[in-house]
Amino acid sequence: MAAITMKNIVKRYGDGFPAVNDVSLDVRDGEFMILVGPSGCGKSTLLRMIVGLEDITSGEMLIGERIVNRIAPRERNLSMVFQNYALYPHLTVYENIAFPLRLAKRPDEEVRRRVTETAGLLELTEHLDRKPSNLSGGQRQRVAMGRAIVRQADAFLFDEPLSNLDAKLRGQMRTEISRLQRRLGVTTVYVTHDQTEAMTLGDRVAVLRKGVLQQVGSPRELYEQPVNLFVAGFIGSPSMNFLPASVDGTSLSTPLGRFEMPGEQAAAAVGDRGVVLVGVRPEHFEDASLVSEDKRARGSIVQVPVDVTEWLGNELYAYVPYEAPADLAAQLRELSRELDSDQLRTQAVVSLDASSLIAEGTEAALWIDTSRIHLFDPATGENLTRDEDHAARLTRAAEPSRAAQRSTQQPTEP
Ligand SMILES: Nc1ncnc2c1ncn2[C@@H]1O[C@H](COP(=O)(O)OP(=O)(O)OP(=O)(O)O)[C@@H](O)[C@H]1O
Ligand SMILES: [Mg+2]
């Protein structure tokens, strides 16, 4: 096992375009790091540079104490699982898993011991004599995983390993990967598009945009204290709503109505900006008729038209259209395109209690928890209301729990 340290890593492909631009990131020994970002932001490129399948244009890559920039992939002792894993169709499950050990010319006795153990870990024991064509998608995925973990690698690298599985299998495999990583305690970097994977699998999440690292923190830090508009919009589903607002003292005038800033600190951070973008998560709205008196006091109520509602049993989504000034509307559309979001940005998505009787095509009173809103600089995207101390606490709070789980689940030594 080893830490992975990236120092000012740059990757320029032939045309000079920086696919990865000055990324510095420390993955600690035994840590599970998630890498997320829109398509083309450089996730796979970064992973391939760690493994050595791609040259590093500039910067330093360390595995443990060793600089590996000029070290061949096979000398790096890392294991990678790709999205399009290929199993050898003519080999049994046993031999597929054994493959890296055979390559390394390990003695038969050791191969048998390790394959048996890996198969046990992945619940493949009863399928060892089968060929891959006789396995389900999830079982094949587990064989690919087995091939990666059968070697005692210093780190595992996963590039969207579950993306071609159906939702149910993906859910099962997600739990298995999480359990496996905790049990083995091996440093892992995992690339994904999937919100749930990003939020649940890792110790920390790193968000990339156009080759540039935006923020690294626990899932909760990214969700509650995003550094900018991009991270705020990328993490969470449905996405955070962004409402343009003109500032008048401590009050905000938005297309949904007028309400107060979260506090004096927010007003100070906004300074003399005349316009800000207000970020409100869907769950920080509520049907005003369901909000208790004391709760009302720490938020604001707005009257809005409801376009469409979706009752999901455990919650109710309502879509609230609004008009935005042309320049800001264009900016929000651009962001929404970049985030691959199908959400039309001049409509707010709100998540209400399932008991709400709000009906589509009517006006409704919605309560906004204004203590939970964020204010963004429309020019730079910076989150003006981010609380650095609280953010650091959120990431620190996440640390002991996973580390403790690891130490109680002793790694099995083959
Ligand atoms: N061999 C190459 N030559 C030139 N440009 C490349 C090459 N490989 C990737 N790129 C470009 O580098 C950028 C990053 O690509 P990369 O594959 O790392 O993205 P990604 O984040 O993994 O995207 P996805 O989520 O779609 O897999 C993209 O703009 C891509 O077009
Ligand atoms: Mg990729």
Tell whether 84 and 143 lie within a shared domain: yes
pLDDT for 47 beyond 50: yes
Q: Which atom of ligand 1 is found nearest the CA of 211?
A: 14
Q: Does residue 270 lie within any of the structural domains?
A: yes
Does the pTM exceed 0.85? Answer: yes
pLDDT for 374 beyond 90: yes
| 15 alpha carbon – ligand 1 mean position (Å) | 12
Instruction: Give the residue-averaged pLDDT of 32-46.
Output: 95
Instruction: Give the residue-averaged pLDDT of 246-266.
Output: 90
Q: Does residue 399 lie within any of the structural domains?
A: no
Report pLDDT digits (tens) over 321-349. Answer: 988 888 777 888 888 777 766 554 678 99
Question: Residue 262: its pLDDT value, please?
Answer: 85
Question: Residue 343: its pLDDT value, please?
Answer: 55
Task: Enumerate residues lining ligand 1, CB below 6 A.
Answer: 13-14, 19, 37, 39-45
Q: Which atom of ligand 1 is found nearest the CA of 38?
A: 25
Report pLDDT digits (tens) over 380-404. Answer: 999 999 999 999 898 888 776 666 6
Q: Does residue 351 lie within any of the structural domains?
A: yes
Tell whether 201 and 56 lie within a shared domain: yes
| 159 alpha carbon – ligand 2 mean position (Å) | 7
Which contiguous run of DSSP H or E holds residue 363?
A: strand 362-368
Residue ending a domain, among 195, 222, 249, is: 222
Rg (CA), the chain: 24
Among 15, 36, 43, say which to mutate for ligand 1: greatest number of ligand atoms within 8 Å of CB. 43
Question: Residue 412: its pLDDT value, please?
Answer: 46
Share of the chain above pLDDT 90, in %: 66
pLDDT for 410 beyond 60: no
Tell whether 205 and 290 lie within a shared domain: no
Residue ending a domain, among 222, 250, 274, is: 222
Q: What is the DSSP string of 112-150?
A: HHHHHHHHHHTT-GGGTTS-GGGS-HHHHHHHHHHHHHS
Domain that residue 187 falls in? 4-222
Tell whether 212 and 290 lie within a shared domain: no
Tell whether 217 and 278 lie within a shared domain: no
Report pLDDT digits (tens) over 130-186. Answer: 999 999 888 888 899 899 889 889 999 999 888 877 788 788 888 888 888 888 889
pLDDT for 261 beyond 60: yes
Instruction: Give the residue-averaged pLDDT of 279-285.
Output: 97
**Closest ligand, as measured to the CA of 36:** 1
Q: Which amino acid is at 200?
A: T
Nearest alpha carbon, ligand 1 atom 7? 13
Nearest alpha carbon, ligand 1 atom 28? 40
Nearest alpha carbon, ligand 1 atom 5? 13
Question: Residue 385: its pLDDT value, please?
Answer: 95
Share of the chain above pLDDT 70, in %: 95
Tell whether 31 and 152 lie within a shared domain: yes
Residue ending a domain, among 190, 222, 254, is: 222
Question: Residue 406: its pLDDT value, please?
Answer: 60
| 20 alpha carbon – ligand 2 mean position (Å) | 12
| 240 alpha carbon – ligand 2 mean position (Å) | 25
Give the CATH number for residue 206: 3.40.50.300
Question: Residue 328: its pLDDT value, please?
Answer: 78
| 40 alpha carbon – ligand 1 mean position (Å) | 5
Q: Does residue 252 lie within any of the structural domains?
A: yes
Q: Tell the residue number behind the tokens 């998540």, with chain if given.
A: 351
Q: Which amino acid is at 145?
A: M
Report which of 42, 351, 73 is spatially closest to residue 212, judged by C-alpha positions: 42
Residue predicted with more confidence, 283 or 15: 283
Question: Residue 342: its pLDDT value, please?
Answer: 57
Question: Residue 414: its pLDDT value, please?
Answer: 41
Q: Does residue 400 lie within any of the structural domains?
A: no
Nearest alpha carbon, ligand 1 atom 26? 39
Q: Which atom of ligand 1 is found nearest the CA of 160?
A: 27
| 78 alpha carbon – ligand 1 mean position (Å) | 21
Q: Does residue 227 lie within any of the structural domains?
A: no
Tell whether 218 and 246 lie within a shared domain: no
Question: Residue 184: its pLDDT value, please?
Answer: 86
Nearest alpha carbon, ligand 1 atom 19? 40
Nearest alpha carbon, ligand 1 atom 24? 39
| 28 alpha carbon – ligand 1 mean position (Å) | 26
Give the CATH number for residue 346: 2.40.50.140
Tell whether 202 and 256 lie within a shared domain: no
Which residues, listed in sequence order, are joined to residue 254 by a DSSP beta bridge?
257
Question: Residue 313: its pLDDT value, please?
Answer: 95
Question: Residue 395: its pLDDT value, please?
Answer: 86
Question: Residue 360: its pLDDT value, please?
Answer: 92
Report pLDDT digits (tens) over 205-233. Answer: 999 999 999 999 999 999 999 999 999 99
> Cβ contacts of residue 405 below 8 Å, gap of 6+?
182
Nearest alpha carbon, ligand 1 atom 4? 13
Question: Residue 413: its pLDDT value, please?
Answer: 43
Q: Does residue 410 lie within any of the structural domains?
A: no
Q: Which amino acid is at 102?
A: R
Give the C-alpha separation, 8 to 5, whole Å: 10
Report pLDDT digits (tens) over 75-108. Answer: 999 998 877 778 999 999 999 999 999 988 999 9
Give the C-alpha separation, 257 to 264, whole Å: 20
| 245 alpha carbon – ligand 2 mean position (Å) | 36
Longest dimension (CA), the chain: 76
Q: Which amino acid is at 337?
A: R
pLDDT for 36 beyond 80: yes
Q: Which atom of ligand 1 is found nearest the CA of 15?
A: 4
Tell whether 121 and 15 lie within a shared domain: yes
Q: Does residue 234 lie within any of the structural domains?
A: no
Nearest alpha carbon, ligand 1 atom 12? 19
**Total domain count for the chain?**
2
Tell whether 209 and 313 lie within a shared domain: no
Tell whether 160 and 270 lie within a shared domain: no
pLDDT for 34 beyond 50: yes
Tell whether 158 and 259 lie within a shared domain: no
**Residue 290 CB-density burial (10 A; 0-12 exposed, 13-18 middle, 19+ buried):** middle
